[in-house]
């Protein structure tokens, strides 16, 4: 059965760092233009799982993955797959804002320039468009030459989102994007994520359950490398099928 709504079809993946088994037989389907949240206590493998989706674990020397991840019917880990194309199509925003030590403009233009876009007018247009989509344009439009590191944490994170949007991805992965931010900045990013799902597929790791409940359509609960439960967010937060999920969301541990 081919379902056009499914972008990621993850089948029985296992992952190790050296001898340490951190993802255990995980299968999941992630739907297009929805927000999928991954929750669970820290150290349970959420980031590792997320980074499997755009091959960011390739850089970790002792990392090993088994199983299959299909992205729209293409095997992400087959030898014919170009990891550069994968990362370009499936963008990522990290836990700590990590703008380049460059101007705001160049932070966004960077990703375009490495693909050979040099035309100034085109760059200008994409920079503005990306900053607007990241809800940052009004705050920085008069200061595009300013160093990205001079922005506040929340602005830096939105700059990183703009940077990811600029290269025109289909999916954006967020790894605890608000964990270093104050509540006001967090609310802005959450609003933004709900905007983004109109155009992009979003997968977000968070260990803030309210955040998962607010922004996501589907939620997966991880524990100790297992995917304990994966379902509609509403169902997970009202009538979870698994006792462990219920304990976690009611704050009994973690």
Partner 1 sequence: MKSFLDRRSRQRIFERGIHAALLLCASLSIFTTIGIILALFFETFDFFKEVSIIEFLTDTQWTPLFVDKHFGILSLVAGTFIVSLIAMCVAIPLGILCAIYLSEYSSPRFREVVKPILEVLAGIPTVVYGYFALLFVTPLLKSFIPGLSGFNALSPGIVMGIMILPMVSSMSEDAMHAVPSSLREGAYALGATRFQVATKVVVPAALSGIMSSFVLAVSRAVGETMIVTIAAGQQPRFSLNPLVPIETITAYIVQVSLGDTPAGTIEHKTIFAAGMTLFIFTLALNLISNWLKERFREEYR
Ligand X SMILES: Nc1ncnc2c1ncn2[C@@H]1O[C@H](COP(=O)(O)OP(=O)(O)O)[C@@H](O)[C@H]1O
The correct pick among 9, 36, 47, 107 for binding Mg ion (CB under 5 A) is 47
The partner in contact with residue 101, picked from Mg ion, ligand X, partner 1, none with C-beta cut-offs of 5 to 8 angstroms by kind, is partner 1
- Per-residue CA distances from 28 to 40, 53, 67, 169, 253 (Å): 16, 12, 12, 21, 25
Q: Which residues, numbered 52-71, are part of the site for partner 1 (CB under 8 A)?
A: 54, 56, 59, 61
**Residue position matching structure tokens 């602005």:** 155
Q: Does residue number 42 form part of the binding site for ligand X (CB under 6 A)?
A: yes
Of 157 and 219, CB closest to partner 1: 157
CB closer to partner 1, 94 vs 137: 94
Residue with tokens 């992630």: 30
By a kind-dependent CB cut-off of 5 to 8 A, residue 210 interacts, out of partner 1, ligand X, Mg ion, none, with none
**CA 136/CA 213 separation, integer angstroms:** 25
Q: Is 225 left (phi over 0), alpha (psi -120 to 50) or beta?
A: left
Tell which positions 107-146 bind partner 1, by CB under 8 A.
Answer: 110-111, 114-115
Q: Is 179 in the site for partner 1 (CB under 8 A)?
A: no
Q: Which CB atom, from 116 or from 251, has the smaller least distance to ligand X?
A: 251
Helices (H), the chain: 46-52, 83-89, 104-113, 120-133, 137-140, 153-166, 183-196, 209-215, 233-238, 243-249
What is the rounded CA–CA span in Å between residue 68 and residue 66? 7
Least Cβ distance, residue 197 to partner 1 (angstroms): 19
Angle at 153 between CA 52 and CA 195, to 5 degrees: 65
Q: What is the DSSP letter of 40?
A: -
Instruction: Note the residues at the interface with ligand X (CB under 6 A).
Output: 17, 20, 22, 40, 42-48, 60
Binding region for partner 1 (CB under 8 A): 54, 56, 59, 61, 84-85, 87-88, 91-92, 94, 96, 98-102, 110-111, 114-115, 149, 160, 163-164, 167
């Amino acid at each position: 059965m081919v379902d056009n709504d499914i972008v990621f079809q993850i089948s029985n993946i296992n992952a190790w760092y050296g001898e340490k088994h951190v993802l255990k037989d995980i299968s999941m389907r992630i739907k297009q233009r929805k927000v999928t949240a991954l929750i669970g206590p820290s150290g349970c493998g959420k980031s590792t799982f997320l980074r499997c989706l755009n091959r960011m674990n390739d850089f970790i020397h002792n990392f090993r993955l088994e199983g299959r991840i299909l992205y729209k019917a293409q095997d992400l880990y087959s030898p014919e797959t170009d990891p550069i194309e994968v990362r370009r199509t499936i963008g990522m925003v990290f836990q700590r804002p990590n703008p380049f030590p460059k101007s705001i403009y160049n932070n966004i233009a960077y990703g375009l320039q490495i693909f050979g876009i040099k035309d100034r007018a085109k760059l200008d247009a994409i920079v503005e468009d990306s900053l607007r989509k990241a809800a940052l344009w009004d705050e920085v439009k008069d200061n595009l030459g300013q160093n990205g590191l001079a922005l506040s944490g929340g602005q830096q994170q939105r700059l990183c989102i703009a940077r990811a949007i600029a290269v025109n991805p289909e999916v954006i992965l967020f790894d605890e994007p608000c964990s270093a931010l104050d509540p006001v900045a967090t609310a802005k990013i959450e609003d933004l994520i709900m905007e983004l799902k109109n155009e992009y597929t979003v997968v977000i790791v968070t260990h803030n359950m309210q955040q998962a409940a607010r922004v996501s359509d589907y939620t997966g609960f991880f524990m100790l490398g297992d995917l304990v439960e994966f379902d509609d967010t509403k169902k997970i937060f009202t009538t979870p099928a698994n006792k462990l999920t219920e304990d976690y969301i009611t704050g009994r541990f973690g």
